[in-house]
Structure 1
Amino acid sequence: MSTAAAEHAPGRAGADRFAARARGLTKAYGSGETTVLALDAVDVDIARGRFTAVMGPSGSGKSTLMHCLAGLDTASAGQVWLGDTEITGLKDRELTRLRRDRIGFMFQSFNLIPTLNAAENITLPMDIAGQEPDQQWVDQVIDTLGLRDRLKHRPSQLSGGQQQRVACARALASRPELIFADEPTGNLDSRAGLEVLGFLREAVDELGQTVVMVTHDPGAAAHSDLVLFLADGRIVDEMERPTAEAVLERMRLFAGGGRQTPDATFDGTAGHED
């Protein structure tokens, strides 16, 4: 996962193996004495076809990391690649096109258009871009997510879990290289949350997608293949094949003064955005 910052551009082999990479990724807000370092020279590789979870206390940089990898925020220093495309330094129009064509997004708030039905919400990004959807793929996504009998319903006619399934289908519909999910179960009850996590897991296992999920929940992280732990803008640990119990224990270790600085604590609850 993490490698020395001296390693430079990913090259073709790296681009084939990794959906996204960052080297020396730094993000600072403010200037002078008020500067806040949200990311501190982070090196990270996001493997293709895997489900990666990102965890950390409030203010650790986890959402900032996701936003920089997705091209939603600009880095103060360092480099970021999506596949073999370096996105640091791209102009706004190029970044917009890249996000539209190659990245899918899921958010805590669903972000569905209330006047459109589920089917229209699913294909909306492609409709805006003037792209013809691959109907066979879209049908596969719809059936995988169990939305066939909900396509004519508007968001107000759907439960929270169903709305997040529609948001998941929208993220998958264009068959993006990478899906970013920011606390996708944050507004759901436990049953609906488990359903959505199961669908994300299925998207990786059955549909070959790549998912990066920011979460505070050890149970959610347990659905992933790899957990990255952030503290004070740095990746301080990682865990392969996580279980909820092992993740929670690792969080307690950090809170107790493990490989983490004393002023950063995991509390296992949702915090404000990083």
Structure 2
Amino acid sequence: MPPTVSSPGSAPTAALTEDSAAVRAVGLRKVYGRGEAAVTALAGVDVAFGRGAFTAIMGPSGSGKSTLMHCLAGLDTATSGQVWLGGTELTALRDRQLTELRRDRIGFVFQAFNLLPVLTAEENLLLPLELAGRRPDRTWMRDVVERLGLTERLSHRPAELSGGQQQRVAVARALLSRPDVVFADEPTGNLDSRAGAEVLDLLRSSVRETGQTVVMVTHDPVAASYADRVVLLADGELAGELLDPTPDDVLEALAGLAAVGRLAAAGRG
């Protein structure tokens, strides 16, 4: 049977309110360049991501998925529209306020592990809190480290860790401040399939066991299948969503988007 792809305005997305959404976008537009050189990356996107849920953002190359995540996380500035983190409007904040919000309420996991090579795993974990002048919750830190299997690795520097272990350190660092949302941008892109599966299991368990909210951009249908929900983008617009997806569901949905894109291109030609 084909996967169930709901429309952008269907209940699972539309039913999320300020109280139930960890992060949401309203009329979000992002345009790069001006005049004839202008490129619309996001064309008025309305989307919400539930608290305590694992959501993947997917779409063809150039669909706007990375731009959407960067705007949601306050890493890029929207041309128009609003982004809300809980009850806080990110798009109304000044640069300093936005920097503080990202530091205190958002966690990041990137494809590149972004660990400082001269620091140990533990020092890398604690660095963001130290820069913010905050003391770590040692009980929570011990719990996170144990969950991620890093207890025996804290004194090791990144060069002494495998790729999967380095990404575990990055995940632990993102979780340590108990952020409202963890944004993961292709977190398994530099990992082999086994290490990637371990990191995805850890992200999923952080959602199910601790109520963490995770929003992940990925191009990998297998990675997306770890999520509770997949939000689909095409040409800077929402193209639907999948609930409880399997890899085959995701592949079929992406193939459908690609076919629509080819027909549209042929029509323009």
| TM-score, length of structure 2 as denominator length | 0.92
2:254 corresponding residue in structure 1: 251
Q: Secondary structure at the match of 1:236?
A: strand
Aligned position for 1:153: 156
Do the aligned residues in 2 keep the contact of 1:25 with 1:41 (CA within 8 Å)? yes
The structure 1 residue matched to 2:124, chosen from 121, 126, 130, is 121
What is the aligned counterpart of 1:105 among 86, 103, 108?
Answer: 108
Q: Which residue of 2 aligns with 1:165?
A: 168
**Which structure is higher in helix share?**
2
Distance 2:81 2:265 in 1: 26
Moved over 4 A (4+): 1-4
Q: Tell me, what secondary structure is at the counterpart of 2:227?
A: coil
Contact kept, 8 Å, 1:2 with 1:45, in 2: the verdict is no
Closer, same or farther: CA 130–261 of 1 in aligned 2, 3 Å: farther
1:60 and 2:54 are equivalent in the alignment: no
For 2:76 and 2:238, the matched residues in 1 are separated by 19
The 3-state SS of whatever aligns with 1:106 is strand
2:76 maps to which residue?
A: 73
Give the distance between the partners of 1:52 and 1:159, measured in 2 at CA: 27
Gaps of 5+ in 1: 5-9, 265-274
Mapped pair 1:51 → 2:45: no
Q: Which runs of 5+ in 2 are unaligned?
A: 1-6
Q: 2:207 aligned with 1:204, yes or no?
A: yes
Aligned-residue offset at 1:254: 1.8
Among candidates 257, 262, 265, match of residue 264 of structure 2 = 262
1:18 aligns with 2:21: yes
TM-superposed CA distance for 1:134, in Å, is 0.9
The answer to whether 1:82 aligns with 2:85 is yes
Confirm whether residue 138 of structure 1 aligns to residue 119 of structure 2.
no
Q: Deviations over 1:58-82 (max 9, x none)?
A: 1110000000000111110101100
Residue aligned with 2:191, SS: coil
Q: 1:220 to 1:130 in 2, by over 3 A?
A: same
1:203-235 per-position Cα deviation (integer Å, ceiling 9, x unaligned)? 101111000000000000000000011110011
State the Cα deviation string for residues 85-114 of structure 1 (Å, max 9, x = none).
011131110000000000000000000010
> What is the distance in 2 between the residues matched to 1:2 and 1:45?
10
Tell me the number of residue pairs that the alignment of Structure 1 and Structure 2 aligns.
Answer: 256
Contact 1:179 1:210 in 2 (8 A): yes
Q: Distance in 2 between matches of 1:108 and 1:59?
A: 18
TM-score (norm. length: structure 1): 0.90
Match of 1:270 in 2: none
How far has the Cα of 1:126 moved from its partner?
0.3
